Amino acid sequence: MGSGLADRIAEQLALIEDRLLAEAHGDTPFVTEAAAHIIAAGGKRFRPGMVVTVAALYGTAAVESVVKAALAVELTHVASLYHDDVMDEAELRRGTVSANRRFENTVAILVGDFLFARASGCVADLGAGYVKLHAETFSRLVQGQIGEVQGAAAGVSAYDHYLRVIADKTASLISTSAVYGGMVSGAPAGDLAILAALGDEIGTVFQLSDDLLDITSTQSGKTPGTDLREGVLTLPTLLVAASADPADARLQELIGRPLSDEAEVAEALGLLREHAAMGAAREEIARRAAAAETHLDALPAGEANDALRELCRSVVSRSA
């Protein structure tokens, strides 16, 4: 990325950072403190990064529209994390104590609602088309999360169910981030469709990668093994579950039920980390990211296009 573009993107992201904290301001110091808690803990800001970099593909957007769109997607994401951490009974988020632990479940849920309201305010400022896409995205987010809790319906393969869940709960908002970047730039309808597909595919890779980190990482700022505790199957555990190798029997037994015994979580993590399924999952992630990247061939070439290619690759390298 040329330094001109990198500087412009960094400048816009710094502005978005300040504005995120401003959006967390409530009517009382308590609301502000609780709403700023997860925003101030940092984060990758992948979704704002997507908005800003896609907008840079065209170079025609007003900065205020780019900022509003970026705020809308990040506030929606943070709101969903407040709710997700209640559902997961999480202890840690972004390397700090989660909101449900620092405050309590009811506060965490209501603060999630508060931030979602702030996101709605931002999209309302942008216009009805943005509001409609935001509403559709929110409906997918929630249904993805419900699907994860419910598990696969009869006749649906566990793998197909998993892909549907992650497309809805994660890729939907990343796809909308890419589309918003195009919309604020006045991109043609054909480009918006390509941006939607790019975001959906790279968003799926993002969650596949995140699920791998739940097994491998002690540096993610989250407690590893959350999916094992909840009995949620992800790409590597789905591969193990389908194995016919008798050596996999113990691991299959462990991943086949929610684990509440910490010794069993540690045992399952140990077996998984050494398992060939991890390599196979990494290959699938790299293959999908390369396929997602091909959408960029049909979008305007240049520095921003190269930066988006880097963004696609960064999704793979975080869990490599």
Q: Does 214 bind Mg ion (CB under 5 A)?
A: no
| Interface region with Mg ion, contact rule CB under 5 A, candidates 11-19, 43-51, 79-87, 154-162 | 79-87
CB of 275 to ligand FPP, least distance (A): 20
Q: Does 88 bind Mg ion (CB under 5 A)?
A: yes
Count, residues near Mg ion per rule CB under 5 A: 2
- Which of 65, 98, 145, 175 is close enough to bind ligand FPP by CB under 6 A? 145
> Minimal CA–CA distance to 144: which of 161, 165, 170, 159?
165
Question: Quick one: what does residue 168 bind among ligand FPP, Mg ion, none, with the CB cut-off 5 to 8 Å set by partner type?
Answer: none
Kindly write out the interface string for residues 213-232 of this chain, putting x where it contacts ligand FPP by CB under 6 A and - elsewhere: -x-------x---x------
Q: Does 12 bind ligand FPP (CB under 6 A)?
A: no
- Which of 169, 229, 282, 295 is close enough to bind ligand FPP by CB under 6 A? 169
- Which of 48, 112, 147, 182 is close enough to bind ligand FPP by CB under 6 A? 112
Q: Does 23 bind ligand FPP (CB under 6 A)?
A: no
Question: Quick one: what does residue 210 bind among ligand FPP, Mg ion, none, with the CB cut-off 5 to 8 Å set by partner type?
Answer: ligand FPP
Q: Does 141 bind ligand FPP (CB under 6 A)?
A: yes
- Which of 83, 229, 275, 295 is close enough to bind ligand FPP by CB under 6 A? 83
- Which of 116, 130, 162, 180 is close enough to bind ligand FPP by CB under 6 A? 116
CB of 261 to ligand FPP, least distance (A): 21
Chain residues that interact with Mg ion, rule: CB under 5 A: 84, 88
